[in-house]
Amino acid sequence: MLETNMTFRQFLLHDYRNEGLEKDLVFLLEDIATACAIISNHVRDGAFKGNLGVAGSTNIQGEDQKQLDVIADEEFIRHCSNCSRVAALVSEEVDEVHWLKKETKAGDYIVYFDPLDGSSNLDVNLSVGSIFSIVQIAEPIDTSTDASVLIKGSKQICAGYSVYGPSTSLVITTGHSVNGFTHQQGTGEFRLTFKDMTIPETTSEFAINASRYRLWDEPIRAYFDECLAGVDGARGSNTNMRWTASMVADIHRILTRGGVFLYPMDEGNRATGGKLRLMYEANPMGFIVEQAGGSASTGTQRILDVTPTSHHQRVPVIMGSKDEVARIDAFHGKS
């Protein structure tokens, strides 16, 4: 039985005994939880250490890196390298795949991560977080080419995120249900505080950066117009809007009380296929959202079915309450 307040280790051992979670995955997830606790500490200490600003470098995404983007990336790499079954680490902040093994074995893991999500919120003291995704390879892969990590989201065996907000939370799925933990400062443990998180199927709350309205394609404009029309429009009911500029925080809210999150492809990001990254943001969050009873779509396709063509690939993202995602899919002509 999953008991409220049980430690993350107790939870993982429960999964190990009852759900066949591999021992090495238990260790890897504990290491990731440690990395998140340490990153959370770096974020809270940022103002003292003068770490909240830019690093003076640009990442492969063309973004100015924050010092904490780089620090968080180093923590992920350091902690995920402990596990001898990890073949490769793939990060939003690093151009190339970081291969830990030359020879891989069937059953080895690949870890994909966004070490710090929402990093533009750092200097204004709003929520940020980390996102990770784990894929298990079915057979040995060729480590001489980065193309070997291009594996569909539907193959994930685990995904999770941590939010560094008023408290630090860790939410994970190992492919059956979604559970949320809160970092308890006194004990230093992540403890189970949100059991079996589920997303209500219907919602009246949406999250989108509406300043991009002029850049959107017709289906997104039509959906948005209908939301704004409220009781006076075809929807027949009023809506509410939230946008935190941090995907982890927006998705965490949706996992808690429902809603839909959209970052569509638009005229401003069409050249790159969208803004959010398939392997570090859309896939892990899509897996978690589906496991919690929601849906994750590009508007025309299930996110987890997208075949990756590059590890830094971007995609349009629409995810959250099932009925709302279906409504937006319908605007795109998808049934």
**Identified binder of Mn ion from the candidate list 15, 75, 117, 324, rule CB under 5 A:** 117
CB 333, min distance to ligand AHG, A: 25
Which helix (H) or strand (E) segment holds residue 263: the answer is: strand 260-263
**Identified binder of ligand AHG from the candidate list 13, 222, 245, 326, rule CB under 6 A:** 245
When the beta carbons of 57 and 120 are compared against ligand AHG, the nearer one is 120
**Binding-site size, ligand AHG (CB under 6 A):** 13
Q: What distance in Å separates the CA atoms of residue 92 and residue 15, rounded to the nearest whole number?
A: 29
**Identified binder of ligand AHG from the candidate list 104, 119, 127, 297, rule CB under 6 A:** 119
Q: What is the torsion angle, in degrees rounded to the nearest 10, for the CA atoms of residue 80, residue 272, residue 267 and residue 204?
A: -30
Q: What distance in Å separates the CA atoms of residue 246 and residue 251, rounded to the nearest whole number?
A: 9
| DSSP character string of 294-331 | -EEE-SSSBGGGPPPSSTT-EE-EEEESHHHHHHHHHH
Residues within window 36-65 making contact with Mn ion, judged by CB under 5 A: 63
Kindly state whether residue 30 participates in binding Mn ion, applying the rule CB under 5 A: no
The Cα-based distances of 305 to 146, 154, 282 in angstroms read 20, 6, 11
Residue given tokens 């060729």 in the structure block: 142
Residues within window 126-165 making contact with ligand AHG, judged by CB under 6 A: none
Residue 288 partner contact from Mn ion, ligand AHG, none using kind-dependent CB cut-offs of 5 to 8 Å: none
Residue 209 partner contact from Mn ion, ligand AHG, none using kind-dependent CB cut-offs of 5 to 8 Å: ligand AHG
Q: What is the torsion angle, in degrees rounded to the nearest 10, for the CA atoms of residue 12, residue 77, residue 276 and residue 327?
A: -10
Query: Which residues of the shown chain bind ligand AHG in the complex (CB under 6 A)?
Result: 63, 92, 114, 117-120, 209, 245-247, 263, 275
Binding residues: 92, 114, 116-120, 209, 275, 281
Binding residues for Mg(2+): 92, 114, 116-117, 281
